[in-house]
């Protein structure tokens, strides 16, 4: 039973190990799939923001070209004087700024900082002598692009392109074009890189020019890693960063525009970029959960089967032990009953020789039962263990100095064939002991049992006595019994007189 429990336990452990291995293999495949999904999401995110930054860069180049050309046309339209004495001059300036978008406003500012002309019909008089886009020109700069500033007229976020106006070598004022920051809204719509994305323009010194969605106010990015690290290594690229404006985690693409003051940027919320990966991760988590539940259910089912199988194994082991005990008891009682029969025969007053012969045959049957219950060989008996012991007992009964040699193969004689075989052997040995050594004090008997091809075995009993060829005009009881037992064992037998008597029989002793 212990061995059976160990076997069942090892099978259960092996089954659980297989389930665990399958679950591990499944999760490994899911992990590989998720890694691939993550890499794909990152790659596509890089591609999307890079493409968006190119769109922003193209529009920034257009804005820069438009502003520079318009400022140049305004300078040319003013002629030798920046004053505006009549309507024709106003019409000339209107022609110079005709292709500006609605988010742009053009101004001509005199040397005193006061507005001389604007395409905004609702212009209000203001003084800009403290604005950098005017001060830089007054101090000698030819052109200037401002960072993000707040308009004093509309209170909106704007950025400004300005051009120095000079007449006869003297500063005569400034031509200015102010773009409302909302001009980036159509660009943001066009790139379509998801919610919480941004597009923007940054001046090369790190000052924010414009951004959509709009920030709370001007932003200085000189110490941001875009300027301290990435732009020093490459003119374009992507990186992940927390925005200094709103602290949102985004994937950012930048592009430095040659011959302009701009750095174009486009960025997408990292959660939007990684959304396909998170969806795959949810699917993977559900699959793992289902697989885990299935594995646990299978493990519990196997454990239950193991318990049931262990119980059945124990019950079978108990039943086997009971059967073995019963069989042992049966064979023991049969042996005892045979011995009782032998005692009864001796008490009946039959002739001693007849009683002796009967007792020998009954002893042969008793020996078979003793072998079975003594060695727990209920399905058959071992020829190597039974024959030498049995034959020596028969020889000792006759009290003669006869030696016995054995050549016995490892054959298991079936239980239903053991008794006729023992009786056959008893008759053969008894014949040799009674007749072969007549007038001699000693002799030799050889007993051989060899397995042959198929299911048959060959029994040989030979002695070095006076010799007998098996032919007789009147066969005795022993001879008839030998023939009967050979027939019962589905065999054939023959005698040879070779320096004594040799009996050879081919018998079916196994199942």
Mean pLDDT, range 380-405, rounded to an integer? 83
Longest dimension (CA), the chain: 173
Report CA-CA distances (Å) from 255 to 118, 230, 269, 358.
33, 11, 18, 119
> To 10 degrees, what angle do helices 415-431 and 477-488 make?
150
Among residues 94, 96, 107, 122, which one has the least CA distance to residue 165?
A: 107
| Sign for the pseudo-dihedral over CA of 148, 150, 151, 155 | positive
**pLDDT above 80 for 328:** no
Report the alpha-carbon distance of residue 431 to residue 467 in Å, rounded: 11
**Together in a domain, 154 and 250:** no
Is there a single domain that holds both residue 223 and residue 243? Answer: yes
pLDDT of residue 420: 85
pLDDT mean over 422-431: 84
Q: What confidence score (pLDDT) does residue 145 get?
A: 96
135 and 202 fall within a common domain: no
The encoded tokens of residue 74 equal 């305004």
Q: Where are the beta strands (DSSP E) in 126-243?
A: 143-145, 149-150, 157-167, 170-180, 198-203, 208-212, 236-242
Residue carrying structure tokens 């004093």: 152
The model's pTM: 0.59
% of the chain at pLDDT higher than 90:
44
Whether the pLDDT of residue 180 is over 50: the answer is: yes
- Across the chain, mean pLDDT equals 83
The verdict on 163 and 216 lying in the same domain is no
- Residue 476 lies inside a defined structural domain of this protein: yes
Same domain? For 99 and 217 the reply is: no
**472 and 439, same structural domain?**
yes
pLDDT attached to residue 48:
95
Same domain flag for 80 and 198: no
Which one of 245, 271, 297 terminates a domain? Answer: 271
Q: Are 187 and 212 in contact (CB under 8 A)?
A: yes
- Give the pLDDT confidence of 254-268 residue by residue, as tens digits: 999 998 999 999 999
- CA–CA gap between residue 84 and residue 171 (Å, rounded): 17
One domain, residues 192 and 139: no
Mean pLDDT across the stretch 362-375? 57
Tell me whether residue 416 is in a domain.
yes
In a domain, 36, yes or no: no
Mean pLDDT of 342-370: 59
* pLDDT band for position 473 (cuts 50, 70, 90): very low
Q: Give the pLDDT confidence of 138-175 residue by residue, as tens digits.
A: 999 999 999 999 998 889 999 999 999 998 889 999 99
Which residue did the predictor score with more confidence, 70 or 436?
70
For the stretch 472-481, contacts whose Cβ atoms lie closer than 8 Å and that sit 24 or more positions apart, written own/partner, are: 477/357, 478/427, 478/430, 478/431, 481/361, 481/423, 481/424, 481/427
Choose from 13-27, 152-166, 312-326, 408-422 the range with maximum mean pLDDT.
152-166
Residue 377: pLDDT band (50, 70, 90) is low
- Mean pLDDT across 392-408: 84
Task: Return the exposure string of 85-113: e unless at least 16 CB atoms fall within 10 Å of the residue's CB, then b.
Answer: eeeebeebbeebbeebeebbbbbbbbbeb
Which pLDDT value is given to residue 153? 86
| 443-470 core/surface letters (b: 16 or more CB in 10 A; e: else) | bbbbbbbeeeeeebbebbbbbbbebbee
133 in a domain, yes or no?
Answer: yes
Q: Among 376, 404, 395, 461, which residue's Cα sits nearest to residue 433?
A: 395
Domain that holds residue 157: 72-182
Helix, strand, or coil (residue 442): strand
Q: What percent of the chain has pLDDT over 70?
A: 81
Is the pLDDT at 194 greater than 80? The verdict is yes
Q: Are residues 213 and 154 in the same domain?
A: no
Has residue 14 been placed in a domain? no
Angle between helices 2-78 and 275-347 (to 10 degrees): 170
Say if residue 130's pLDDT is above 70.
Answer: yes
Per residue in 208-235, pLDDT (tens digit) is 999 999 999 999 999 999 999 999 999 9
* Domain membership flag for residue 302: no
pLDDT computed for residue 364 by the predictor: 58
Tell me, yes or no, whether 465 and 409 share the same domain: yes
* Cα 269 from Cα 255, distance rounded (Å): 18
pLDDT of residue 326: 52
Last residue of one domain, picked from the residues 238, 271, 304: 271
- Selection from 123, 218, 125, 132 nearest residue 174 by Cα: 132
Q: How many domains does the chain have?
A: 3
| pLDDT per residue as tens digits for the range 6-46 | 665 676 678 778 888 898 998 999 999 999 999 999 999 99
Residue 71 has pLDDT above 60, yes or no: yes
Residue with more model confidence, 183 or 439: 183
Looking at per-residue pLDDT, the higher value among 416 and 90 belongs to 416
Query: Which band of pLDDT confidence, cut at 50, 70 and 90, is reported for residue 437?
Result: confident
Is the Cβ–Cβ distance between 84 and 117 less than 8 Å?
A: yes
CA 55 to chain centre: 45
- For the ranges 162-176, 353-367, 473-487, which has the lowest average pLDDT? 353-367
Same-domain pairing of 137 and 160 = yes
Least confident of 235-239, 448-452, 488-492, 497-501: 497-501
Interatomic CA distance for residues 129 and 106, integer angstroms: 17
| pLDDT score at 122 | 79
Q: Does residue 422 belong to any structural domain of this protein?
A: yes
Mean pLDDT of 368-378: 54
Query: Would you say residue 88 lies in a domain?
Result: yes
Q: Which of 59-68, 113-122, 319-328 has the lowest mean pLDDT?
A: 319-328
The domain that contains 159 carries what CATH number? 3.30.450.20
Which of 125, 150, 182 terminates a domain? The answer is 182
DSSP line for 297-345: HHHHHHHHHHHHHHHHHHHHHHHHHHHHHHHHHHHHHHHHHHHHHHHHH
170 with 198, same domain: the answer is no
């Amino acid at each position: 039973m212990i061995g059976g429990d160990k076997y069942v336990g090892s099978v259960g452990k092996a089954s659980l190990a297989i389930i665990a291995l399958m679950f591990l293999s499944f999760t490994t495949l899911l992990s590989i799939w998720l890694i691939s999904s993550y890499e794909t999401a990152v790659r596509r995110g890089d591609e999307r923001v890079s493409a968006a930054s190119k769109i922003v860069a193209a529009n920034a180049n257009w804005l820069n070209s438009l502003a520079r050309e318009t400022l140049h046309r305004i300078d040319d339209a003013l002629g030798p004087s920046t004053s505006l004495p009549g309507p024709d001059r106003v019409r000339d300036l209107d022609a110079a700024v005709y292709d500006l978008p609605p988010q742009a406003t053009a101004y001509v500012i005199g040397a005193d900082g006061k507005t001389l002309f604007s395409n905004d019909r609702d212009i209000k008089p203001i003084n800009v002598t403290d604005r950098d886009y005017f001060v830089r020109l007054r101090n000698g700069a030819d052109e200037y692009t401002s960072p993000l500033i707040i308009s004093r007229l509309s209170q909106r976020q704007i950025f400004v392109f300005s051009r120095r106006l000079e007449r006869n070598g003297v500063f005569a004022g400034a031509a200015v074009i102010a773009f409302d920051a909302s001009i980036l809204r159509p660009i943001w719509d066009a790139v379509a890189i998801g919610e919480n994305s941004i597009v923007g323009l940054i001046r090369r010194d790190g000052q924010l020019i414009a951004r959509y969605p709009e920030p709370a106010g001007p932003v200085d990015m000189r110490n941001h890693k875009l300027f301290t690290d990435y732009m020093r290594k490459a003119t374009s690229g992507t990186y992940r960063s927390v925005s200094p404006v709103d602290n949102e985690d985004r994937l950012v693409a930048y592009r430095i525009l040659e011959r302009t003051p701009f750095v174009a940027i486009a960025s997408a919320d990292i959660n939007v970029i990684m959304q396909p990966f998170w969806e795959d991760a949810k699917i993977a988590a559900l699959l793992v959960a289902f697989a885990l539940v299935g594995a646990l259910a299978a493990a519990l089912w196997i454990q239950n089967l193991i318990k049931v199988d262990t119980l059945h194994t124990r019950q079978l082991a108990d039943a086997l032990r009971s059967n073995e005990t019963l069989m042992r008891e049966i064979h023991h009682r049969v042996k005892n009953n045979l011995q009782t029969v032998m005692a009864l025969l001796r008490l009946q007053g039959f002739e001693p020789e007849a009683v002796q012969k009967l007792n020998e045959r009954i002893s042969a049957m008793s020996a078979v039962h003793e072998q079975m219950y003594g060695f727990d060989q209920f399905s058959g008996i071992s020829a190597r263990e039974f024959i030498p012991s049995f034959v020596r007992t028969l020889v000792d009964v006759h009290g003669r100095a006869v030696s016995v040699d054995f050549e016995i193969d490892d054959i298991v004689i079936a239980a239903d064939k053991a008794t006729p075989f023992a009786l056959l052997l008893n008759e053969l040995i008894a014949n040799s002991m009674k007749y072969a050594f007549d007038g001699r004090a000693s002799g030799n008997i050889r007993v051989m049992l060899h397995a042959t091809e198929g299911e048959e075995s060959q029994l040989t009993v030979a002695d070095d006595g006076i010799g007998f060829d098996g032919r007789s005009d009147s066969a005795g009881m022993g001879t008839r019994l030998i023939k009967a037992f050979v027939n019962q064992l589905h065999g054939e037998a023959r005698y040879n007189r070779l320096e004594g008597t040799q009996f050879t029989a081919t018998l079916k002793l196994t199942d």
